[in-house]
Amino acid sequence: MSIFRRLLGRLGASLIVLIGVSMLIFFIARIIPGDPARIALGPRATDAQVEQMREALNLNEPIVVQYGLFMGDLVRGDLGISLYSNRPVMTDLVEYLPATLELVLLAGFMMVMIGLPLGAISARYRGRWPDNLVRVISLLAVSAPAFVWAVGLVLVFAYFTPLFPITGRISDTLEVERLTGFMLIDTLAAGRLDAFASALHHLILPAFALALSGIGQAARLTRSNMIATYEQPAIEMAQAYGFSEARIARRYAFKPSLIPSLTIIGLDFAALLGNAFLVEVIFAWPGLSRYGVGVILQKDLNAIVGTVLIISATFLIANIIVDFLVSVLNPRIRFSEDNK
Amino acid sequence: MPDPLTLDIKDLRLSFKNWSGTTEVLHGIDLRIAPGERVALVGESGSGKSVTSRIVLGTMQDVRTARVTGQVAFEGQDLSALTSSDRRALRGRDISMIFQDPTSALNPVFRIGELFQEVLKRRDPKVTKGEARAQAAKILHEVSIEDTDRVLDSYSFQLSGGMNQRVMIAMALINEPRLLLADEPGTALDVTVQAQTLAMMRDLVVQQGTSVLFISHNLGVVREFADRIYVIYQGRIVEHGATKELFDAPRHPYTRALLSAIPRLTGGGVPDIAERSPDFDDPFVDHAEVR
């Protein structure tokens, strides 16, 4: 089966999942108590005003009809108006999603680039001091949630020793035209290296705080997978042929051990979108997670459904990418899928 | 110096350090292999035959809890006196090894062709993909593999066990090593396939003049293959002799017990041999000296 056809199949399956998610979140949001129209209009609104608002939001229709109307708008790219910000939900998402994605992507990158090598070093020097060091660090990293690390990192690296800025996405004195909403891309597109450096500088600490427990997780998982790989006859065979230990670690032990680690990192990566909330609050990061919690507290129906759908879509895309990486790394998966 | 022995082991002892002190598992092994000679080391599980092969391979010396004493000379060079990286330099070029289960020993994430190229790089680091492929195809022909292109483009899990075994034999011999260690080759395969591949392996080592240390628990398998046999029991060599002598007139009680354990086509079931017997600890019998 060609890669293209497999991709198409996965996208189709993802679409079905998204429709399921949209139904679920649409109904749950409407079942929980509290009248969105009253919350939006405030305590001084008259009953007539509330009723008018309910009519405008189609809240008096049967729930199935409401869903049908919602899907009809969604197909046209219209997620409705947010009662929280009084703007189209789509506009809000376009504004807030890039900030969170930038944060989460860098955090995911750190998980791969720091977590996997740490685990590999640990397995290669099993039982010796590098292993012990990595095990202590990774256990520490896993055992505290991201917001604890965020507070700790802010205190140490931004407050006591001001190496990094405490809040925001870029220095206040710099003004960069918004193109994609990704600060790193926009600054480069504007050809402003100073602004790019500033944006990266602002990004490192929150991304690292968000990534830390994932880094620990990836390191521990890679270590145990690689130790299991080292026990296999294929490694002894490589030793018997006199390949250097470094080459064996890199080519023969690390590659097969990557497969389970990548799968978990893919799931962790998607979970970061949700975990980002407290980190975004601490670093005053104008991201989607903060927006999502805001709209939930306001019972802003349209915005809740929109936010959840975007997060689910990101989750599904991340998993498709991971599955492809895994099938590239593992020929057994590639061939068993071909034989289907 | 006239033609030194390919392998000359004298008073080889191996012990493992553990929490309660040290445990000796090899109690002074003597074993010699002349150039081009095929020698078998036969014994039951746990007798010390596999660790002996790992010492000759030079990997056991790198295990932190293992202590190796005595002499293991490969072509006059004492392996224990070499550094770990010098021992490694011998592996894959001068000393090579075949493993028990070919399918799990061949790395599943590389194609057979890539594995061959890796092995060929041990002799010539600059070998190109095309050269490696040509050489691999040539030696695969010698182990009766005809569709070499398909095999070289396959992963080990796409080939049968017997096919993988032939691939491993070819891989072990492609660099024309002077000593081949075969640790229970083909035990994971069924007997007819095992017999076929062993015959191919014998033809190839005879042709290349490779010395072989063949490790097995099965005297029957060894009979067709080896010139001489050492029988090992609980870390000691108990009997040594030319294959014919040993089969015709086994003198050590343990060798007799092992011989009676070979299943016969004439039936009669599996003979009842004792797990342990005091006469298994009888002194070493060497046919070469008696003769």
The mean pLDDT value for B234-241 works out to: 91
Whether B34 contacts B2, CB under 8 Å: no
Helix (H, G, I), strand (E, B), or coil: what is residue B265? coil
B158 touches chain A (CB under 8 A): yes
SS (H, E, C) A122-188: HHHCCCCHHHHHHHHHHHHHHHCCHHHHHHHHHHHHHHHCCCCCCCCCCCCCCCCCCCCCCHHHHHH
A234 and B108 in contact by Cβ < 8 A? yes
ipTM for the complex shown: 0.84
Residue B179 is assigned to a structural domain of this protein: yes
Domain residues for the domain of B90 are 7-290
Q: How far is A124 from chain B (nearest CA, A)?
A: 14
* Terminal Cα-to-Cα distance of chain A (whole angstroms): 9
Whether B177 contacts B93, CB under 8 Å: yes
As a dihedral over the C-alpha atoms of residue A319, residue A321, residue A326, residue A329, rounded to 10 degrees, the angle is -170
Residue of B nearest to A253 (CA): B107
B142 touches chain A (CB under 8 A): no
Whether A307 contacts A295, CB under 8 Å: yes
Residue pointed to by tokens 């010699």: B32
More confident residue, A338 or B145: B145
A328 touches chain B (CB under 8 A): no
B282 touches chain A (CB under 8 A): no
The rounded Cα A135 to chain-centroid distance in angstroms is 25
Q: How far is A239 from chain B (nearest CA, A)?
A: 8
Give the DSSP H or E segment for B166: helix B161-173
Cα–Cα distances in Å, from B199 out to A286, A326, B193, B272?
73, 40, 10, 31
Instruction: List chain B residues with CB under 8 Å of A125.
Output: none
Of A166, A145, A170, the closest CA to residue A277 belongs to A145
Residue B1 is assigned to a structural domain of this protein: no
DSSP annotation of A113: I
CATH number assigned to the domain comprising residue B255: 3.40.50.300
Q: How many CB atoms lie within 10 A of CB A253?
A: 25
Residue of B nearest to A329 (CA): B109
List B residues 41-60 in contact with A (Cβ-Cβ < 8 A). 57, 59
Of B94, B74, B98, the closest CA to residue B177 belongs to B94
Q: How far is B89 from chain A (nearest CA, A)?
A: 6
Q: How far is A237 from chain B (nearest CA, A)?
A: 6
Residue of B nearest to A256 (CA): B109
A256 touches chain B (CB under 8 A): yes
The domain locations on chain A are: 3-75, 89-329
Residue B2 is assigned to a structural domain of this protein: no
Nearest beta carbon to residue A234 from set B90, B93, B105 = B105
The mean pLDDT value for B38-47 works out to: 90
pLDDT at B153: 93
Whether B100 contacts B188, CB under 8 Å: yes
Nearest beta carbon to residue A233 from set B89, B90, B99 = B99
Tally the residues of chain B: 291
Number of cross-chain residue pairs from A and B with Cβ atoms under 8 Å apart: 64
A144: left (phi over 0), alpha (psi -120 to 50) or beta: beta
**φ, ψ dihedrals at B232, nearest 5°:** -115, 135
A252 touches chain B (CB under 8 A): yes
Q: How far apart are CA B286 and CA B289, in angstroms?
A: 6
Instruction: List chain A residues with CB under 8 Å of B119.
Output: 241
Nearest beta carbon to residue A234 from set B88, B89, B107 = B107
The one-digit pLDDT tens for each residue of chain A (340 residues) are 567 777 888 889 999 999 999 999 888 888 877 778 877 787 788 888 888 888 888 888 888 888 888 888 888 888 888 888 888 999 999 989 999 989 999 999 999 999 999 999 999 888 889 999 999 999 999 888 888 888 899 999 988 988 888 888 888 777 777 878 888 888 888 888 888 888 899 999 999 999 998 899 999 999 999 999 888 888 989 999 988 888 888 888 888 888 888 888 888 877 788 778 888 888 888 888 888 888 888 888 888 889 989 888 888 888 888 888 888 877 777 776 555 4
Q: Is the domain defined by A89-329 classed in CATH 1.10.3720.10?
A: yes
Whether A26 contacts A70, CB under 8 Å: yes
Q: What is the pLDDT of residues B75-97, one digit of tens each?
A: 988 988 889 889 999 999 999 99
For chain B, the domain total comes to 1
Cα–Cα distances in Å, from B240 out to B54, B185, B285?
21, 21, 6
Residue B187 is assigned to a structural domain of this protein: yes
